[in-house]
Structure formats: C-alpha cells, structure tokens
Structure 1
Amino acid sequence: MLLIAEDDQNVRAMFERIFRDAGFTVLTETDGLAALHAIVRERPDVVLTDFDMPRLNGLELCRAIRGHHQLSDTPVAIISGSLAPGDPRAVEAQLCATLVKPFTREALVAAVRRLVDGGRHHHDAEPSPCPAAQSPSGAARA
C-alpha cells in the first residue's frame, strides 16, 4: 500500500490515478498530521509526501515517522520543487528519496516502485540499506 500525503486536491487525484493505474493500492491524506495518523493505523509500504503541507510539512512528517518505534522503518519519498537531493534537511529527516519537480509519470512510479522493492529498512544500520545512502548526493532522485 502507498500512502500519498498531498494537500492540493487536483495533484492528489492525479497521483492517486497514476499509482492505481500502475497497480498500487493507494490511500490519500490531505495534510501531514492526518497522514501520520493514517500511517500509524494502516502501516503502508511506502509514504509519498509533498513538501509544503498544512499541520505537518513533508520533512516534519518524515521526522515523526522516524521517531515512531513502529514506523521508523517505513520508506519515505518527498516531492518538492525546492528541496534538492543532498539538501541537509532531507539528510537530517532521513528521507529515502527526493523527487524534484518536474518529473515524468514514469520516473515517479519507478522511484516509488524502487522503494517498495527495497522494503522496510532502518536508517541507523551500517551499511544502510536505504536508497539515499547509496546515492552520492545523499538522497535518491527521480
């Protein structure tokens, strides 16, 4: 299951359609706090979050996931037009992928599929199985 946290209704609907068409089971939420509650309840395989959202932004959501003992191994990707791979904020939040706008539908689905295929993982293991640790810039990019 993929949880998408996106506050823009049109973007959320587009992402939901893209991922359902690609064979994913999708759950959507409209803000970071609602997404966190859904993540606790549903335990999705991957979280895809927008950067700018009300109540918890994408980085705050990722930090909350990493700080939760039952969720800390959940792969998280963030979508942003301003947060580049390797940004210290992305590294500190332990994001697994930074998807920089603009990107193609194919690149978006491929990035999320890589996270699903990689599975749950902890970020304190050495060497880290996180895709971000494998990238020289510090975060996987679509």
Structure 2
Amino acid sequence: MATLLLAEDVDDIAMVLTRVFKRAGFTVLHGADGAAAYDLAVEHRPDVVLTDLGMPRMDGWELIRLIRAHKELSETPIAILTGQLQPGDVRVPESGACSLVLKPTLNDVLVSVMTELAGHGPHGHTFSSTGCITT
C-alpha cells in the first residue's frame, strides 16, 4: 500500500490518525511539525501527504510550498486536514493542495480521500473552484 506522510503537531491526533491509516493499509510517517515533515518527505518520498495547518517551526502552508518547489516532490498529492478553514477557501487551490478535509471528519471519509489521492499518484496540478484536477 501507499506511504502517507502525516504532518501533525498534536500527539493525540497524530496517534489516532496513524492508527487509522495503518489499519487501512498505509505505511505512515509522522512529522511533528512542518519542518520535520519536510525532512521526512525529502528522505522517504511519500506517495501522499496529509498536513495540518497550525504547527510550530513551519506551518502547513509553508510545508506545501516547499514540497511544490522541490523537484522530486512537486507532484506529490497533498491534502489539508484542519478546522481553521471554510469550504471553498481560495487559499487551498492557490497553495497547491489537492484536497481539503475539515475537522471533525469521519475516519472513513479521511481514508477514502487519502486512498483516492494516493491512487492518482504523482500528478501536475490544474485548479478549478472545486480543487485539484489531475493532469
């Protein structure tokens, strides 16, 4: 199954999400902030990234920007998991994220989104008002 990189600074949330994704068959890497997650991404080249936004040292927006700027990582599917945004927030497609999942959400929904993104594999990013379109 796919390797998922989780960028989440709250230990309890990271532990639960790691368990959920491992049960779904993912290999899970965890970065406790954006900087740690970026280092893991460069080292391991995950199939898909799930990031929170509000994290110390480097937030999720900066993590997405750095991944999109990295030659070998730029086409990695990225989803944002947050309770800080509203549906349709224009910063999501502008950032290069493929999907927005709002907290709280059902585990099945989250796994489904990440499975779909991993299934698309690396891809270019063209945006519409509803998010990422694989190209």
Task: Identify whether the pair has TM-score above 0.5, normalized to the shorter chain.
Answer: yes
Q: 1:52 is paired with a residue of what secondary structure?
A: coil
CA deviation string 1:15-69 (max 9, x = no partner): 0000000111111110000100110000000000111111111111001100111
- Which of these residues, 84, 105, 108, is aligned with residue 106 of structure 1? 108
Distance 1:93 1:137 in 2: 13
Instruction: State the alpha-carbon separation in 1 of the partners of residues 119 and 37 from structure 2.
Output: 22
Q: Which runs of 4+ in 1 moved over 3 A?
A: none
Please tell me the root mean square deviation across aligned C-alpha atoms, in Å. 1.5
Structure 2 stretches of 5 or more lacking a match?
Answer: none
TM-score by length of 1: 0.86
Tell me, in whole angstroms, the C-alpha distance in 1 between the residues paired with 2:97 and 2:15. 23
Counterpart-to-counterpart distance in 1, 2:78 and 2:45: 12
Q: Distance in 1 between matches of 2:57 and 2:34?
A: 6
SS for the counterpart of 2:86 is coil
**Match of residue 131, structure 2, among 116, 138, 141:** 138
Could you tell me whether the CA contact under 8 Å between 1:2 and 1:44 is conserved in 2? yes
Q: Indicate the percent of aligned positions where both proteins have the same amino acid.
A: 46
Question: After the TM superposition, which of the residue ranges 90-99 and 14-23 deviates more from structure 2?
Answer: 90-99
TM-score (norm 2): 0.91
- The structure richer in strand per residue is 2
